A and B are shown apart, each in its own frame.
Chain A
Amino acid sequence: MGLAWWIKKTYTTPKRYFHFFPNRSRKHSNNPSFAEIDQLEQRLANSTLNSAAELAVLLEVQERQKDHIFSNMHAVLDQCKSKNIRVPPSEKLLPDEVLDLAHRIVNIREKLLEQKG
């Protein structure tokens, strides 16, 4: 079974997925603990079953961690703004190599979600 069964929103853009400034995710995500991630990885490593449900849980936890990183980044950027100072969009601040990798990650995520176990 594909992971898309558990993670419904398969298609996304790098801009949205990585919360490019000025985009901001409305949901505030809490940071999962390393222990939680480690435990999930260990369970998968020891499992002979190819459980899409467990993989989806791991991916969801890693994505929560990603969202938490960008929530912190936006909080810092917000502090830098004023009526005289603006923050340029992420796409202008980031070098092409980083933007290219963001595209690749989003494409791979889509493939992973579509792939049947």
Chain B
Amino acid sequence: MRNTLTSLQVLSKSEISVITRHGIGDELQQAIQILSSNEVGHIDFFTNTEVDISSRNEAVVAFGRVLVDFSNLLSEATLSSLSQVMQADYEYLLGNSLTNVSQNFLNDKLKEKLLILSNQLSKIEASLGG
């Protein structure tokens, strides 16, 4: 069965020949390789949850750090989701089962970072009066 979210231009694999299917499969593998080679192992995390945020200066400094951390997270989540979508498309094209394809767009590490950023945003919001 095909995923509802797809990176394929064709509507159904039945529209294309087996040779074309394999060609597109190769293109998908290359794209997955590009995505995985752009995964950054360690990204610096700048948000400091220890600091008080009671002035506008402190709020802007804290906001800037959250902004950069969140941008890295959003970029990472986008590339990781696309990789999973492409892997599912690849399996679909080849007629394989999708049961082994991860559908977890946010891994535990990203979830943990997201929670830290959300808590820090709450502190900034509180300092700005809700």
Q: Do A and B form a real pair?
A: yes
Chain A interface residues (CB < 8 Å from chain B): 3, 18, 21, 37, 41, 44-45, 47, 50, 55, 58-59, 61-63, 65-66, 69-70, 72-73, 76-77, 79-80, 82-88, 90, 92-95, 97-98, 101-102, 104-105, 108-109, 111-112, 115, 117
Whole-angstrom distance from the CB of B127 to the nearest CB of chain A? Answer: 10
A73 to B55, CA, bound (A): 34
At the interface, is chain A mostly helix, strand, loop or mixed?
helix
Check A109 against B63 for contact (C-beta < 8 Å). yes
CB distance from A74 to the nearest CB of B (A): 9
Prevailing SS type, chain B contact patch: helix
B21: shortest Cβ distance to chain A, in Å? 10
Set of chain B residues within 8 Å of A94, measured between Cβ atoms? 74, 77-78, 81, 105
**Contact of A59 (CB < 8 Å), options: B5, B64, B114:** B64
- Beta-carbon contact of B68 and A21 below 8 Å: no
* Interface residues of B, Cβ cutoff 8 Å to A: 5-10, 23-24, 27-28, 31, 34-35, 38, 55-57, 59-61, 63-68, 70-75, 77-79, 81-82, 85-86, 105-106, 111, 114, 117-118, 121, 124-125, 128
What residues of B have a CB within 8 angstroms of the CB of A80 in the complex?
7, 31, 34-35, 82, 86
> Once the chains bind, are B68 and A102 in contact (CB under 8 Å)?
no
Min CB–CB distance A18 → chain B (angstroms): 6
Sampled A-B contacts (9; CB under 8 Å): A45-B57, A66-B67, A72-B75, A73-B75, A85-B8, A87-B82, A97-B111, A108-B124, A108-B125
* Distance between A7 CB and nearest chain B CB, rounded to angstroms: 11
Instruction: Check if B71 sits within 8 Å of A88, measured CB to CB.
Output: no
Q: Complex: how many Å from CA A82 to CA B44?
A: 32
Q: Which listed residue, B28, B61, B67, touches A44 by the CB 8 Å rule?
A: B61
Q: What are the 7 tightest A-B residue pairs by CB atom distance, in nearest-first order?
A: A62-B64, A80-B31, A93-B81, A73-B75, A66-B71, A69-B71, A84-B24
Docked Cα-Cα span, A54 to B56, in Å, equals 12
Kindly state the separation between the CA atoms of A93 and B82 in the bound complex, as whole angstroms.
Answer: 7
B7 touches A87 (CB 8 A): yes
* Residues in A neighbouring B10, C-beta threshold 8 A: 84
A41 to B55, CA, bound (A): 14
Contact, CB under 8 Å: A101 / B118: yes
Residues of A within 8 A of B24 (CB): 84-85
Q: Do the beta carbons of A105 and B70 come within 8 Å of each other?
A: yes
